[in-house]
Structure 1
């Protein structure tokens, strides 16, 4: 019976690989490489987000949040309490400030060790045949999927043009060509935003290179856990 079950699981796994499934990456995929989790983020927000009492709505919302977080998780607390836009902005900035340095540490490791991320081997295997594209869906802000694709010479597409100052490719996806054939590409659908996406003073969303800190006037385009989702 055990052997039959193992054979069935193996056969099912092989069929999934052959059909090239959509890959869904959750927070666990990032936590394994040192990216902060919800618990760490909760503690960080409590220490880094400051409310001076000058805005009554902020003061009330933040007190409610601090009280609620003592008895529940971060996402539940942020779902139950609707924050003023000004407070949400500071939460987003603090979230970026926590996760971005950890993301850059992963990138530094990938630069010196192209086998750092198991995703690289998975991407390479799934694109080893005739298929030119695979799709990844993730709520994570980090760029581990992008790094994993780069490490094995694959293109990646996140909905933006190429270059240092990347604008959204709203009309049609940007596709690379190699030897007159579509280049092997990992399409990464980042449903809650990304650490390298920012809104400029004119509310135009752009993609920027890896940076050690946020540029003045550029707001991170990430959706925090909770109500804003």
Structure 2
């Protein structure tokens, strides 16, 4: 003789649809594909800066910045995406160590900008902000939004994080940083003040936008 409660549970279970497990490898594969599309977009519509074009020919740039700038935002995007993978599931915990790459990147760029301002003064540094500001902002924000929409469609809406606000913030930081990395392959504005006030501000604005959006959408 079966318990009526067992019958109810069985009837409810019959209507459940199996959900495919969330595999981190799919997240990384999707991010790699998205970054490749971003790089192809930059290459097609803007073109790479000469230092990047000459790298495969064995010609190294006179300064590290043409390579270091894309690597900085690439590293920031990858570590933020890794944090997203850690926070996706209910057992994921937001740890202080996840913020170390953000603080390191912020500290490095602020230090370089401070040295520049002390050495050259604000008037000279401000002149280095005149070049491609609108295009840079627009590309990072629009590219970050495209990446965030794809991340939402294929990953975030299936997540069950115990820290939805942090998950949203790191998602925005990841997509905006990776787009900034792709755009940096084209941009030749290497002044520290430009990296902080243009690149950094664009990434920060989009991260804030993603955080506010996540508070509304990432609720269980």
Tell me the TM-score normalised to structure 1 length.
0.28
The higher radius of gyration belongs to: 2
Structure with a larger share of its residues in helix? 2
Structure with a larger share of its residues in strand? 1
Higher RCO structure, 1 or 2 (CA under 8 Å, sep 6+): 2
Tell me the TM-score normalised to structure 2 length.
0.29
